């Protein structure tokens, strides 16, 4: 691995390149915080894909793309004299020191859970009115539900045993079934949301990340369906002309691969 000196030299090289691009490249000169936002989100998802695939070469590349965006934002901030990359680094350093009193102070903790609880308590001391203020509004609903539950757990609002959560899942499923039979679409949607929320809660007690779990299933389904498509192509028969029984033969083959 590179020495700290080489790491800092590499970071300075990136900062210098960013200066050049902002001054000389027509595309880079036009960018704003707003125009970069959707690209940053895209890069974050690409990093997430690489991590799920455990492709460390791609992880390295995507981390570079994301780091470029951070440097880009800081460069734009420096042009308006609002902040620069040093301010960004110092801000997060101060936050980390303040929120880790068990490392940089005299607070003692016994485990990871106490660290998380202290973290949320310190955030409230910083002036936040709710522990949920730190959950971005634009997060996808599944990820947002998981973060909400993590946040409230940090202040002690949580179930005590996994069985309690599973009982809640069963309760919500029963309530959904009642509304399905009543054919009230608005209530069906509401109860379906409750089922998903309770399942995400249960995932926490199983130490399962629901977003990762669902994405693994998505990838698995895609691979199996594309196998089915390839076999149909070998037969010269469109999927739309195949019976479900015929498709099921190839689907089961895909499951064994």
- The string of pLDDT tens digits covering residues 87-143 is 999 999 999 998 899 989 888 888 888 887 787 777 777 777 788 987 888 888 999
156-202 pLDDT, tens digit each: 889 999 999 999 999 999 999 999 999 999 999 999 999 999 999 99
pTM: predicted TM-score of the whole model, two decimal places:
0.67
Only one residue has tokens 């485990």, namely 111
Helices (H), 25-140: 26-30, 33-52, 56-79, 85-98, 101-104, 112-125
User: What distance in Å separates the CA atoms of residue 117 and residue 203, rounded to the nearest whole number?
Assistant: 20
Side-chain-side CA neighbours of residue 101 (13 Å): 13
């Amino acid at each position: 691995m590179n020495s700290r000196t080489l790491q800092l030299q590499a970071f300075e090289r990136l900062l210098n390149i960013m200066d050049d691009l902002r001054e000389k490249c027509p595309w880079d000169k036009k960018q704003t915080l707003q125009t970069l936002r959707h690209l940053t989100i895209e890069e974050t998802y690409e990093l997430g894909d690489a991590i799920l695939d455990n492709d460390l070469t791609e992880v390295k590349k995507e981390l570079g793309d994301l780091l470029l965006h951070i440097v880009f934002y800081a460069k734009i901030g420096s042009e308006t004299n609002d902040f620069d990359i040093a301010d960004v680094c110092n801000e997060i350093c101060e936050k980390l020191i303040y929120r880790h009193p068990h490392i940089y102070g005299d607070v003692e903790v016994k485990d990871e859970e106490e660290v998380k609880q202290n973290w949320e308590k310190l955030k409230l001391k910083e002036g936040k009115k709710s522990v949920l203020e730190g959950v971005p509004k634009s997060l996808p609903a599944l990820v947002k539900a998981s973060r909400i539950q993590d946040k409230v757990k940090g202040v002690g609002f949580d179930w005590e045993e996994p069985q309690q959560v599973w009982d809640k899942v069963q309760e919500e499923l029963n309530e959904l079934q009642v509304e399905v039979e009543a054919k009230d679409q608005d209530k069906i949607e509401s109860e379906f949301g409750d089922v998903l929320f309770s399942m995400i809660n249960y995932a926490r007690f199983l130490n399962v990340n629901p977003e990762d779990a669902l994405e693994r299933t998505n990838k698995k389904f895609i691979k199996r369906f594309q196998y089915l498509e390839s076999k149909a192509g070998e037969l010269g028969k469109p999927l739309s002309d195949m019976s479900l029984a015929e498709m099921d033969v190839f689907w089961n083959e895909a499951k064994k691969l």
